[in-house]
Amino acid sequence: MSSINNQAATTSPEDAEYLLAGTGTEFMAALKGQVFFAPLDTAREEMKILDMACADGVYLTFFIPPFSLRTLLREMSTRLPSSTSFVGVDLMKSFLPAKDATPDNYRYLAQDVLTPLPGDLQGVFDLANVRLMFAGVVGKEAAAVQNLVDGLKSGGWLQIMEMRLYTPYGGDDDKTAYDDADDGDGETQSLKDFKTLLSSVFAAIGLQKGFPMGLEGVMKDAGLQDVRVVVVDAPIGKDVSEDRKLQLLSVGPFQLTIKTLVATCEKLGLQIPASVTDNLEDRLVRDALEHGGKFQFAVLTGRKA
Ligand SMILES: C[S@@+](CC[C@H](N)C(=O)[O-])C[C@H]1O[C@@H](n2cnc3c(N)ncnc32)[C@H](O)[C@@H]1O
């Protein structure tokens, strides 16, 4: 996997450690090629787009169709007029691209979503997008959403994409691995094990059961209108394509994430049964190639009045 991650940035020692993002870690998500879930007029000129937690120099995004190896922000830019300007923000400075690799209509800021945006970025965005960040701001979701809403202009949209979570081991009284999410009839054991591992870590850091659905209320409390939630499948392996190479690419990031998750479990003192973690990397790849599988994302959208 790392051979295709030619944009990987190096994590510098002063960067805070982030749960799912080690040096060179890639995360790919197949959302059936859709990047705008808010009803944005993609033909409009001069729009301003914010991608919070963009990791624009590190992460790869994997869309179908067509397959492309681009971060989400870069993918968005291919679907909007060239007059659009983009602002990418991330807590990790080293996750942002070098200045000479940055097109003129891009601006990057290294800052926390919990810090209000600078004055010139208040009330200006047509779209504020956030994907896979809210696990980093547990208990502070309202402040994060408020800062994003403050960045929107009137009529602008907030769009949040997060993986749906499952009831974890050791989380509470309910020990089944699947609760409110579609567990997919016939889902392979390795995929169930991966989801159990992930959700156990998320529960340990305080993510609420049912995450990210609770964000809907947070968005409404922040005054957003027309708040909607849709659930989107993110297939892997055999369910992605006939092409073996693409099947492997789709499962690679999950395989890489296992090491980080297991290390995090050890650090947090979580007791995950060995049957869940044993040989999980190999099992996940083998099963995904033979049987396919899917993750699910919840996408929440809301409009500033
Ligand atoms: C799993 S990655 C997702 C990257 C990208 N949004 C994507 O979907 O490919 C999570 C990102 O959130 C960033 N992040 C975590 N907490 C943050 C915070 N409080 N403020 C801004 N960014 C944060 C991390 O640095 C990391 O780049």
Cβ contact 59:8 at 8 Å = no
| CATH classification at residue 208 | 3.40.50.150
CA–CA separation, 244 vs 251, rounded Å? 11
Which atom of ligand 1 sits closest to the CA of residue 60? 9
pLDDT of 237 higher than 90: no
78-103 in b/e burial notation, b at 16+ Cβ within 10 A?
eebeeebbbbbbbbbbbbbbeeeebe
Lowest mean pLDDT among 31-40, 151-160, 227-236: 31-40
Which residues does 205 contact at the CB level (< 8 Å), separation at least 6?
Answer: 19, 135, 138, 268
Read off the pLDDT of each residue in 131-140 and give the average, rounded to a whole number.
91
- Which residues fall within 8 angstroms of residue 282, CB to CB, at 6 or more apart? none
- The Cα-based distances of 1 to 16, 21, 24, 96, 146 in angstroms read 24, 15, 9, 20, 37
State the average pLDDT for the chain.
80
pLDDT at 58: 65
pLDDT for residue 231: 86
Is there a cis peptide before residue 66, judged by omega within 30 degrees of 0?
yes
Q: Which residue lies with its CA nearest to atom 9 of ligand 1?
A: 59
Counted residue by residue, the chain has a size of 305
pLDDT in tens, 258-298: 888 999 999 999 989 999 999 999 999 999 999 998 888 88
Greater confidence, 2 or 242?
242
Token pair of 142, please?
A: 């309202």
Instruction: Give the Å distance between the CA of 92 and the centre of ligand 1.
Output: 8
Q: For atom 10 of ligand 1, which residue has the closest CA? A: 133
Question: How far is ligand 1, taken at its centre, from the CA of residue 108, in Å?
Answer: 14
**In 3D, which of 248, 270, 246, 289 has the Cα closest to residue 66?**
246
**C-alpha–C-alpha distance, residues 13 and 280, integer Å:** 30
Contact assessment for residue 156 and residue 127, using Cβ atoms and an 8 Å cutoff: yes
Average pLDDT, integer, range 97-108: 88
Please tell me the predicted confidence (pLDDT) of residue 265.
Answer: 92
Average pLDDT over residues 194-201: 88
Domain total of the chain: 1
In angstroms, the CA 214 to CA 175 distance is: 21
Range of the domain at 107: 2-303
Taking only the tens place, the pLDDT of each residue in 19-70 is 333 222 233 334 656 789 999 999 999 999 999 999 886 665 544 444 556 7
129: pLDDT strictly greater than 90: yes
- Specify the long-range contacts of residues 277-280, CB closer than 8 Å, at least 24 apart: 277/193, 277/197, 280/190, 280/193, 280/194, 280/197
Residues with CB under 6 A from ligand 1: 18, 20-21, 27, 53-55, 59, 61, 72, 90-92, 95, 112-114, 131-133, 136-137
* Residue located nearest, by CA, to atom 15 of ligand 1: 136
Question: Cα(141) to centroid of ligand 1, in Å?
Answer: 14
- 92: which DSSP letter? -
Residue with tokens 């810090």: 115
